[in-house]
């Protein structure tokens, strides 16, 4: 395998020459290195769903600031329900 790489790594007998140890050592250092646990992980591309959710939350927060709280009408206990109060004899008291 190394014989096909050229005369830079092996001699005519197929043995590694001295400088090839340095080259292969450097190569193996970078290829087979273990990840550093203290290293900061690379920045990842944000998930489109997370971006949409963040924008939605920001918009909802801005809408809450725009809505005055005094517009809420108090509910009359007799007017509960979506269909109105209903007949008096059917009301639960």
Residue 75 lies in a domain: no
* Domain region containing 13: 2-31
Residue 59 lies in a domain: no
**Residue 9: Cβ-neighbour burial (10 angstroms; 0-12, 13-18, 19+):** middle
The two tokens of residue 58 are: 């920001």
pLDDT in tens, 73-92: 666 665 566 666 667 777 66
How many percent of the chain have pLDDT more than 90? 0
How many percent of the chain have pLDDT more than 70? 58
State yes or no: pLDDT of 72 exceeds 70.
no
The two tokens of residue 50 are: 């997370």
Residue 39 lies in a domain: no
Please say whether the beta carbons of 28 and 36 come within 8 A.
no
Number of folded domains that form the chain = 1
Mean pLDDT lowest among 4-8, 37-41, 73-77: 4-8
Mean pLDDT across the stretch 34-62?
A: 75
Which 3 state secondary structure label does DSSP give 74? coil
pLDDT at position 28, please? 79
Residue 51 lies in a domain: no
């Amino acid at each position: 395998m190394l014989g096909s790489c050229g005369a830079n790594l092996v001699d005519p007998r197929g043995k590694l020459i001295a400088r090839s140890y340095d080259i292969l050592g450097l190569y193996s250092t970078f290829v087979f290195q273990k990840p550093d646990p203290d290293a900061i992980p690379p920045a990842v591309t944000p998930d489109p769903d997370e971006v949409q959710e963040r924008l939605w939350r920001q918009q909802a927060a801005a809408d809450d600031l725009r809505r005055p709280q005094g517009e809420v009408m108090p509910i009359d206990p007799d007017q509960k329900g979506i269909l109105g109060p209903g007949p008096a004899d059917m009301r639960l008291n």
